[in-house]
Structure 1
Amino acid sequence: MADYDIIIIGGGPGGYTAAIRAAQLGLKTAVVEREHLGGICSNWGCIPTKALLRSAEMMTHAAHFEDFGITLTGKVKPDIARVVARSRGVAERMAGGVAMLLRKNKVDVIWGEARLAGGGIVEVAEPARPAQEPQAPRPKGIKPAGRYSADHIVLATGARPRVLPGIEPDGDRIWTYFEALKPAHLPKSLIVVGSGAIGVEFASFYAAMGTEVTVVEVLDRILPAEDAEISAFMEKALGKRGIAFRTGARVEAVKAGKSAVSVTLTGGETLKAERLISAAGIVANTEGLGLEEAGVALDGGIVRVDAAGRTSAAGIWAIGDITGAPMLAHKAEHEAMICVETIAGGAPHALDRSRIPGCTYCDPQVASIGLTEAAAREGGHAVRVGTFPFLGNGKAIAMGEDQGMAKVIFDADTGELLGAHLAGAEVTELIQGFATAMALETTEAELFDVVFPHPTISEVMKEAALAAFGRAINI
């Protein structure tokens, strides 16, 4: 008899969600973790970055207190040590919460680095100290490294920052997001290579803290995964906050010195700054797991799975970042539920990856789901497109947050909601309304019938839908 019904390798959002759901379904469950319960998301990604960005938001608000009739005595300035301490405290709280949830659900935690040994065996060795970060304190009641067996093994090992040739992080002048999350002091100037969600979020944070920021993007627009209209809006909005952009610019050379780093771009332009953040995406953690020996097939560095998370090897499953884009915590969590419920004998609905919302927590925020306008047209759809500016929304004006927009794309023949794209205050909270609408196969008719409360920023959602059919009221 195996030691466990299921062993999950990785204690991040996908892994711990899978473990808890498995325990709820009556399966004897263990999680193998080598560094941090909660994974990168809780410890070095989603959560601590949002804590930093909240501090940045407070700084931005403070700079405009006079506009709201409030007078502050003295100059508002950031204390970066306290900002970082708060962020790290939030991360520690999250990791502690995950440990509590696993204990509550009677999930065993095995501490160490896992490797597949065949026949349902997982060999767990003492973890080597990570090069990029200190190890977290080990939670109480953990199982030691050793040899464990299970009927099912779920791979949930996540991802790490992508390292570009010639821009290898040195922990001093050239940072990944690990170093960018805990600076000893605020750099006076910063170059960010990459304008995806990670790059733009850090650019937004440091700019709000008073750092001179330049973002370099090899493609012809920032936030290239977003709708082109949203990208254009955000470049202007972030530019007003003092962030400079170099789009269509390839990094040809990087030289780190004792006091600065210089970057040579295509065409010969040279930029100099105190620090550089390499934010060119992430890469799946598939090395060192013994995947090839276990017969687990990979495609382009990610694990090949079916709709339920089955790999090519019997009894081995995979979820989250190692199964490919979008590499998002909420996608991993949903895959975890599908995978474990299938293992337990259920028949859950497959995940529709085209309906996974994406959020970027810069200032202003960005959120989107579904097809961009260009992708909808390229896919052969005749479309109806509606846009609505925050300038026409009473709540946004009252809040002093009137810089934003909502955009929706409908199939002109069927009324199907194909995509929604938002920029502005709190849009990362609004996007779930469109996610729910798409999951319910909503058309414009249903959206027209929904009563949106007034005054709320959410009214821009209905106005954008009305605009697509020539019926907008407040613009």
Structure 2
Amino acid sequence: MNTYDIIVLGSGPGGYVTAIRASQLGFKTAIVEKESLGGVCLNWGCIPTKALLKSAQVFEYLKHASDYGLTVDNVDKDFDAVVKRSRSVAEGMSKGVQFLMKKNKIDVINGFGKLKANNKITVTDADGKATDYEAKHIVIATGARARELPNLPVDGKKVIEYRKAMSLESQPKKMIVVGSGAIGVEFAHFYNAMGTEVTIVEFLPNLVPLEDEEVSKQFERSFKKAGIKVMTNSSVESVDTSGDGVKATVKTKKGEEILEADVVLSAVGIKTNIENIGLEELGIATDRDKIVVNDWYQTNIPGVYAIGDVVAGPALAHVASAEGITCVEKIAGLHVEAIDYGNIPGCTYATPEIASVGMTEKQAKEAGYEIKVGKFPFSASGKASASGNKDGFVKVIFDAKYGEWLGCHMIGAGVTDMIAEAVLGRKLETTGHEVLKAIHPHPTMSEAVMEAVADAYDEVIHL
């Protein structure tokens, strides 16, 4: 019998991080993966999309070289080469995880794992050969895949999901993107920058609907300015793929409209990978497509745990990693704090970027807080002006009574690299005045945080 202390099912940023931390804590550890190490995030999600977006950004810079006093002739893109670069970045990351598995003496078991009674897992490899493994603790980290709507069936050719969107053989002339969460808007931006005519369809009244309303409005303005057609309060009712391209029937407030395109990208959320892994047989409790766990990620079956996209909470790579670490540290008997889900940063990597943490202004008001709100536009930032990235702003929300930092919302160039200040500040229970008195370097984009806080307390200098 192949026996371990901990077996992790799935090797995404939840699974592989869990396995490494388990190994560091002295557990004999194995990881089961049916495809590529690193899961969706490294192979088909977070990382390769950022590579595509970087190519789009460089292309945009070259097209606007004259804005910087430079002359560049015959600027063009090689779509195939852009996709190839993205794939090679993903391969490099997956190889990096292979190296980490070896370094941490973690056994990698290739195949599809299914839980059995008495803490056993049966792994079936590509040839159909099944092998049994046993562990004191089994951590489910099987992640999620693109959700499919009944009226928008994915055929992989004319109606595609994110995976196909980053490896298309040729660039479409026209694309409809359904859904304006992070995945939808990142692809809308990439294809628009590459020269595809893009229409984005969102059921809710605002693009990026989970963000603060002011951020959503600014983002929509920027998208429209970039030439993307935006349809909010709209839904794709049906698609006709019988002709050369695809015809989508879109229901709007004004009535129905037929849109024609080469391809429709469905980006309407995710569906957890919890089928056929033995949950029903073991009687593991689920609720609305998620595995039910406690603060330490234990399921209702002793010795079985679940983390990442398969449990409630934001489906984000950094959340899955944190959950996995918390889970195995608790198993090891360390003193562990439960994760504060109110302090999870969210990032969107379109242009402009969006980053946020904590409550929106609306949520803070609804929670009954008396608030101080400060805002600093990048149009007033020296660094933003010098670098030609003046779109966007930083917005901060404080509790008027005690000075608690309730929320921080940013839209602009490079803001995804700035949000950690707010996350750390909130974790350390900082107050507005402490942020204000922490000297920020000039000229940087980051000093906009200090300026926004100054605005909240009526001490702003540069507005």
Q: Tell me the TM-score normalised to structure 1 length.
A: 0.95
Unaligned runs of 5+ in 2: none
CA deviation after TM superposition for structure 1 residue 472, in Å: 1.1
CA distance in 2, matches of 1:221, 1:263: 21
Matched residue SS, 2:85:
helix
Contact 1:111 1:145 in 2 (8 A): no
The partner residue of 1:222 within 202, 207, 219 is 207
Q: Within the alignment, does 1:269 sit opposite 2:257 as a pair?
A: yes
Percent identity, please: 48
In structure 1, C-alpha distance between the alignment counterparts of 2:374 and 2:69, rounded to whole Å: 36
Give the deviation of 1:77 after TM superposition: 1.4
Alpha-carbon contact 1:196-1:223 (below 8 Å) kept: yes
Work out whether 1:404 is the aligned partner of 2:392: yes
Distance 1:170 1:89, change over 3 A: same
1:78: which partner in 2? 77
Q: What amino acid sits opposite 1:37 in the alignment? A: L
Q: Which amino acid aligns with 1:57?
A: Q
Give the whole-Å Cα distance in 2 for the aligned partners of 1:468 and 1:104.
49
Contact persistence 1:6–1:28 (CA under 8 A): yes
Q: How far has the Cα of 1:46 moved from its partner?
A: 0.2
Whether 1:433 and 2:432 are equivalent positions in the alignment is no
**Structure 1 Cα separation of the partners of residues 337 and 46 of structure 2:** 27
Q: Which residue of 2 aligns with 1:105?
A: 104
Q: How does 1:217-296 map to 2 (within 5 A)?
A: 217-266=202-251, 267-296=255-284
Structure 2 partner of 1:49 = 49
8 Å CA contact 1:2, 1:151 repeated in 2:
no
How far did 1:73 drift?
Answer: 2.2
Question: Does the aligned pair in 2 maintain the 1:463–1:473 contact within 8 Å?
Answer: yes
Quote the residue 2:136 is aligned against. Answer: 151
**Counterpart for residue 363 of structure 2:** 375
Contact 1:110 1:145 in 2 (8 A): no
What is the identity, as a one-letter code, of the residue corresponding to 2:31? V
Residue 118 (1) aligns with residue 117 (2): yes
> In structure 1, what is the Cα distance between the partners aligned to 2:462 and 2:307?
44
Question: 2: CA distance between counterparts of 1:307 and 1:388?
Answer: 37
Matching residue's letter, 1:217: E
Q: CA offset at residue 263 of structure 1?
A: 1.1
Distance 2:461 2:187 in 1: 37
* Structure 1, 13-22 or 259-268: larger mean CA deviation: 259-268
TM-score of the two chains, using structure 2 as the length reference: 0.98
- Give the aligned residue type for 2:263: R
Runs of 5+ consecutive residues of structure 1 not aligned to the other structure:
130-143
Pairing 1:122-201 to 2, within 5 Å after superposition: 122-127=121-126, 145-201=130-186
The count of corresponding residues between Structure 1 and Structure 2 is: 460
CA–CA separation in structure 1 for the residues paired with 2:275 and 2:338: 27
Aligned to 1:390: 378
Show the counterpart of 1:316.
Answer: 304
- The one-letter amino acid of 2:188's match is A
One-letter code aligned to 1:84: V
Show structure 1 runs of 4+ deviating over 6 A. Answer: none
Shift of 1:127: 4.2
Aligned to 2:373, the other structure's residue is in SS state: strand
2:45 counterpart of 1:60 = no
AA in 1 matched with 2:137? H
Q: Is the 8 A contact 1:155 1:316 kept in 2?
A: yes
1:351-362 matches, within 5 Å, as 351-362=339-350
Q: d(CA) in 2 for partners of 1:230 and 1:395?
A: 21
| Structure 2 SS opposite 1:81 | helix
Code of the residue aligned with 2:248 in structure 1: it is V
The answer as to whether partners of 2:197 and 2:228 remain within 8 angstroms in 1 is yes
Query: Counterparts of 1:217 and 1:462 in 2: how far apart (Å)?
Result: 34
Distance 1:128 1:169, change over 3 A: farther
Aligned match of 2:338 = 350
| Cα deviation 1:316-343 (Å, max 9, x = unaligned) | 0111000123000000000111001011
